[in-house]
Structures are given as C-alpha cells and as structure tokens.
Structure 1
Amino acid sequence: MKKKAVVVGALGVIGRYIVEKLVAEGDWQVVGLSRRPAKDGPRYRHIPVDLLDLEDVADKLGKLRDVTHIFYAAFQPGTGNAANYAAVIAPNRDMLVHSVSAIAKASRSLQRVVLVTGTKYYGTHLGPLKTPMRETDPRHMPPDFYFDQIDWLTAFQRGKKWSWTELRPQTLCGFAPGTAMSILPAIAVYAAISKELGLPLRFPGKPGAYGTIYQVTESSHFASAALWAATEKRTANQAYNITNGDYFRWRNVWPRIADVFGMKVGDVQTISLTQHMADKADLWTAMTKKYGLKKFDFDQLVAWPFADYVFGSDWDVMSDVTKSRLHGFQEVVDSEVMFERLLTRFRKERIVP
C-alpha cells in the first residue's frame, strides 16, 4: 500500500532524522512541515507553515488528502525562566491540535499518528524520581504540556479508524542547526572553546551529576524506533520509552570525549554554561575563520540552558525499555561508542575544529 508521511517539525533534532530514515526506505512519500523553508528532494516536499496560524494551517494542510502517517516532533520552547512550564502549554498543545486536526480532516487514508513526548512526562526535570521509569508510572504534578498533548490526542482519536503511538526519548543526540536541543553540539563547542583557551576538559555540571546514572537517545536510532512505532500493529494506542537501551556515568564517558579532541581531563568545575558562553560569539567567529569551519551563528549551534539542565541532573535518570523490546523494537546503541563516533564526525565535517 502507498505510504505518505507528514513529519511535523521536520528540521529539528528529531524530525530531520525521521525524514532521512523514511526517504532512505524508498517506499515513502514524505512531506515536511516547519516554520523555516527548506529544499524539496526526491520523494520529499517541504511546506513552511505557522502551526499557530489557523488560516495558514487550513490553506496548506487542508490539501494533504492521501496522508497515511503523521510523525509529530514539533516543539516551541518558552522564553525566560525555564521553570515557567505553564507558559509553553498552550502553543505546544495548539500546534499539535491544529496540524493533526487539519490532516485527519483532509485525509481518509490516515492510519497512525506518532507523537514524540519525552521523559519529562515522569518528572525528570523536577528532581529525584522513581527509576527505572516505566510507561505505567503515575504522572507528576502538572503543568506539563506532554499531558495536554496526549490527553487531547487520545480523546480526538476515540472512535476513529486510525491510532496513535506515543514515544518518550531522553536527551537526543543529533545535529540540527537552528534547533539546538541536542547535547552533542554543546559538548563539541564547549570542548573546542576550552581547548582554544588552553584549558583541560572539565565537566561543567554538578559534582553529583558526574557520577549518577544517565541515558541518551541517538537521533538516528530514534528515527528507526519511530518507523517501527508507525508500522507495528502492537504499538497502536500505546506509549513507549525509547533510549539507546543502555546507561552510563559521565565520569566514565568524559575521558573518551577528551580523547576525541586531544585534551586532558580536568577536575569537575561547576559553571553556568549559559553565563560563561554568553561572551564567546566573537571567539567562535575567529575560530571559524582560523580553522575553516562551517559557518553557523553561535546561538544557532547550541542551547546552553539545555546543556546546563542535562549536566545539572544529579539524580539517576533511567528508563525501562522492556515494553518496546517485547513489542518488537530490538535495536540498541552503545552510548559511549556513540559519543566518540558522533563527536569525531563533528570534527571531520568541520562543525568544530
């Protein structure tokens, strides 16, 4: 049967990898949605759209009549204090409502909506919590826009022929310029600047975070999981944790990261990267010219508050992925090897020196 996917948030650290995965499969037609324009390609069409503008949504999405799958990976971060979670509920709920409603109305062929949420569903951003996190665990005290999204999608789907699947990854590891919610560019840029300044590679987070258990999800690995979730019968109307499938401690990974950059490991020194990187744009511009790097605006490469959040989690962060394995997704990634492989690639591709 003909398969046509709409990837919402197609230029992000999740969406662009889902697009690549589907196009590479060969039997998918893919439509990508984002605010920013992008080039079309073989079996790929890009539509720039403002999902908070109902007229724009109706005009551009109302014509998508033969869509079989929706992959929803859009995200609108808040401005100001990261703790002001309530402020981001309305836009993140409304973007989902507007896009899925319009496509479901236009296409009678819809089979599955894959919604990307995350482990903040369990309260990983709030402090110590029950581990390993299981899909059946109770929710934390709201607000949390993931709750609003899945509650709306569940209610909207009721009585319809299509189904949904919710995926909960943890700390994506990929690269998507302009959407910097990935820990990889943060590590790469921080290491490169430290080296340029003649410093050792110091872990910038809390001392406790250096030794606690953590986990990540490689973006390409997540894209494979999204394809499985979209096409497996058992995943209908189910939620799944999706991570690399292993756990690590930063203190064991840090020397391998330092080796990639030819650096020595220093003692832990807790700093706010948001504050300490605020004046480094001119240095990065000079480094870009000095080392012949690809030209990216410094503020497009990295979300430093996100890095501060990741390196400040001094409690165990562990998802249980047993359910996904029992339902057919068996792929795993060695996270320590992944950091080495992807950071080496960052250097080869001249993203960092």
Structure 2
Amino acid sequence: MPHGTKVALVVGARGVIGGNLVEHLASLGDWEIVGLSRSGGVDTDRVRHIAVDLLDQADTAAKLAHLAGVTHVFYAAYQDRPSWAELVAPNLTMLVNTITTIESVATNLEHVSLMQGYKVYGAHLGPFRTPAREDDARHMPPEFNVSQQDFLEERQHGKNWTWSAIRPSVVCGFALGNPMNLAVLLATYATISKHLGVPLRFPGKPGAWTSLIEMTDAGLLAEATVWAATTPECANQAFNINNGDLFRWQDMWPVIAENFGLETAAPLPLALVDVMAEKESIWDEIVREHDLEPIPYSQLSSWAFGDFVLGWDYDVIADGSKARRMGFHRHVDTRAMFVEILDGLRQRRIIP
C-alpha cells in the first residue's frame, strides 16, 4: 500500500448513514473504501463490499483478517431490539468484534469514528435538557451508545489511534432497504394518502405538532464525519451534528403536503404501526398504476419508527456550535432538504 493511502472501513455500509458516507468518501478521490454489512453489495472500482455477521466473532475475524491496510474505521452499524436494555448486548458486541479484529491486523490504524445520536442525552426517554451539549451529564443506563463510547475510550488508552463520536439528530437521506428513514416514511404516507383521496394529516402526538425539532441531512453528516476523523484537533471528542436550523411540524407539514399536491387537515393522532400495517395491497396497486420500482412495502418504512419520532411531544434539539467553533461550517436548510429528497425519490421511481 502506498505511503499516505487512506483506507476507510465503513461498518453498516448499506444504511442511510453508511451508504451516504460511502458515496461521499468515493467522491473525494483519495480513499480506498471497504463496506461491511450483513448482505454485502456490488463492488465498484472504488468500493469493495464484504458480507459479515459482526455478532459472530469467528465470522468477523475470518472476513476482516485481510484488511491490514485499514487506516480509518467509520462505525455506523446497528441492530434493533424490542427494548432499550436489549440493544446494549448486540450493538456493543458488534463494535467489540470489529475493533478487536481490525486492531490486531491494521498496524496503521489512525482513527475510529463512532456514530451515536441524541439517545446519549436521553432524547428517547422523555423531555431532556435542551439544547443538549456534548458535555452534558449522563443518564441512568442501559444505553448502548454510551457503552460503545466507554469501550472505545478504554481501548484507545496508550494507542496511536484516536476516536470521535458523532451525534446527529434524525438522519434523512436516500437509502433503500432501511425502513428507519423518516423522509421515505413520510413519502410513503403521503403517497398513500393521495391515492386514497384523504388530506395529509399529522399523525403524531398533539405536543409534537408544536415542539421544536431538528434534522440531520445524510450528506452533511457524511462530510462532518470525515472532517472529524481527519482533523487532529477533533481527536477523542464528541460532536453534535445537525442541519443548523430548527422547525416545528406545524410549519413543516404544509411544505410536505404541497410537494405532493395535497391539502392538509387538522392533526389526528394515529398509531401508524396499526393503520398502515394493512396498506401493502394499496402500495402494490400504486406501484402498478405508476410503474414504480417494485420495492417491497416492508422495506420502505418502519411505522413503529414513525410513531416514535412523531411522538416526541417535547423539544428534541442539540447545540451544534462546537463543530462550528472547530471549523465545520456546513449547514442545510431543512425545508430544502425534504423537497430534494422527495424529488429524488420521484426521479428514482420510488414514488409517483
């Protein structure tokens, strides 16, 4: 491997975060990229994909043993479980298996980037201190994001490599096969609403309609992640990364409705996991009528995830000024972000 070559190992390369990170790294031109996921992917001249079960230590060791050239690990893998407590074991195990293996073979390892989120601050539990700051006090465990960071901090002691922890808000971008994607979920919900001839109603909790929230564009997140991983002054620190603006759903909802040519009506709390569960036949009808890509309905949206995000009847915001003070100044207009993603879904024939 030539001196100075940067080799990125993107863990969770098929998700909305990992997929956009792979695209960004490839666009920079000076990275070799290896993507890890459970299903693998199609190799290109810049990206190699490896299918691996990171919960299996033996499979991880066997599949990653040849990756001696890795210089940067970008960890964005995630395993879902029914409860917060159950998330710790699998998600910590995957990180431990990955780092243990890579550290044993990659002698030029420089940095490990850990993707976290506002769960570090207890955003998933209820009202928390806002805007959250990177140095806020921890909350009562269990919390897998915190356990993962503790592992990295302890593992890094006395080592040449450094770490960073990246904390985005709800991440929006284009990705298929990852149903935990709010933009695609809203697009699916709006498309079905239009097909059924009903107005676009906000289905979340009443308090969520007026609470402050923010988003993180997947492209901006990719840029910030690479910036933190390659800026020496950012070593061994955490960073909140968000678009830089705030909104309330009462103001954003009409923007989304207008994009679909829909009228709005008064919010009406609905359990999406129930009311959208039996809409698969309707979606199949929409796909046939508009000659859309035959993406399985189950892969488009996690309605439980939608209920979760649209159920935040309290402010969910964090202070992103630390990254700006240290040199990352990119920002994204969230209204424009939603419109761009929705237009992109149409260009790809995912929605009509």
TM-score, normalisation: structure 2: 0.98
| Contact 1:209/1:314, CA 8 A, preserved across alignment | yes
SS of the equivalent of 2:74 reads: strand
Please report how far the alpha carbon of residue 29 of structure 1 lies from its aligned counterpart in structure 2 after TM superposition: 0.2
Say yes or no: does 1:317 pair with 2:320.
no
SS of the equivalent of 1:168 reads: strand
Partner of 1:33: 36
Total equivalences in the alignment = 349
Partner of 1:278: 277
| Contact 1:13/1:180, CA 8 A, preserved across alignment | no
Please report how far the alpha carbon of residue 347 of structure 1 lies from its aligned counterpart in structure 2 after TM superposition: 2.0
Q: Return the letter of the residue paired with 1:300.
A: Q
Partner Cα separation in structure 1 for residue 344 and residue 47 of structure 2: 26
Partner Cα separation in structure 2 for residue 54 and residue 102 of structure 1: 9
In structure 1, runs of 5+ residues without a counterpart are none
Please report how far the alpha carbon of residue 21 of structure 1 lies from its aligned counterpart in structure 2 after TM superposition: 0.4
Say yes or no: does 1:85 pair with 2:84.
yes
Q: Return the letter of the residue paired with 2:140.
A: M
**Structure 1 segments of 4 or more deviating over 3 A?**
none
1:283-298, aligned counterparts within 5 Å? 283-298=282-297
Q: Return the letter of the residue paired with 1:236.
A: A
SS of the equivalent of 2:85 reads: helix
> After superposition, what is the alpha-carbon deviation per residue over 1:78-133, rounded to whole angstroms, capped at 9, x for unaligned?
14xxxx21111100000000011111110111001000010010011111111110
Partner of 1:218: 217
Please report how far the alpha carbon of residue 42 of structure 1 lies from its aligned counterpart in structure 2 after TM superposition: 1.6
Q: Return the letter of the residue paired with 1:66.
A: G
SS of the equivalent of 1:47 reads: strand
Worse-matched range after superposition: 334-343 or 2-11 = 334-343
> After superposition, what is the alpha-carbon deviation per residue over 1:213-261, rounded to whole angstroms, capped at 9, x for unaligned?
0001011110011110110011100000011111111111111111110
SS of the equivalent of 2:244 reads: coil
Q: Return the letter of the residue paired with 2:105.
A: A
Partner Cα separation in structure 2 for residue 224 and residue 116 of structure 1: 13
Say yes or no: does 1:67 pair with 2:92.
no
Please report how far the alpha carbon of residue 349 of structure 1 lies from its aligned counterpart in structure 2 after TM superposition: 2.0
Partner of 2:164: 165
Partner of 2:6: 3
Partner of 2:188: 189
- Residue 23 of structure 2, aligned match among 20, 23, 43: 20
In structure 2, runs of 5+ residues without a counterpart are none
Partner Cα separation in structure 1 for residue 203 and residue 209 of structure 2: 9
Please report how far the alpha carbon of residue 315 of structure 1 lies from its aligned counterpart in structure 2 after TM superposition: 0.3
Q: Return the letter of the residue paired with 2:89.
A: A
1:1-353, aligned counterparts within 5 Å? 1-79=4-82, 84-353=83-352
Partner Cα separation in structure 1 for residue 348 and residue 65 of structure 2: 39
Query: RMSD in angstroms over aligned alpha carbons?
Result: 0.8
TM-score, normalisation: structure 1: 0.97
Please report how far the alpha carbon of residue 348 of structure 1 lies from its aligned counterpart in structure 2 after TM superposition: 2.6
Partner Cα separation in structure 1 for residue 19 and residue 351 of structure 2: 21
SS of the equivalent of 1:14 reads: helix
Q: Return the letter of the residue paired with 2:301.
A: V
Partner Cα separation in structure 1 for residue 177 and residue 33 of structure 2: 21
> After superposition, what is the alpha-carbon deviation per residue over 1:110-158, rounded to whole angstroms, capped at 9, x for unaligned?
0010000100100111111111100000111111101110001110111
| Contact 2:174/2:341, CA 8 A, preserved across alignment | no
Please report how far the alpha carbon of residue 37 of structure 1 lies from its aligned counterpart in structure 2 after TM superposition: 2.1
> After superposition, what is the alpha-carbon deviation per residue over 1:192-213, rounded to whole angstroms, capped at 9, x for unaligned?
0011111001001011111110
| Contact 1:52/1:91, CA 8 A, preserved across alignment | yes
| Contact 1:172/1:181, CA 8 A, preserved across alignment | no
| Contact 2:174/2:345, CA 8 A, preserved across alignment | no
Partner Cα separation in structure 2 for residue 55 and residue 295 of structure 1: 36
Partner Cα separation in structure 1 for residue 346 and residue 273 of structure 2: 23
State the identity as a percent. Answer: 47
SS of the equivalent of 1:57 reads: helix
Q: Return the letter of the residue paired with 1:120.
A: K
Please report how far the alpha carbon of residue 15 of structure 1 lies from its aligned counterpart in structure 2 after TM superposition: 0.3
| Contact 1:209/1:313, CA 8 A, preserved across alignment | yes
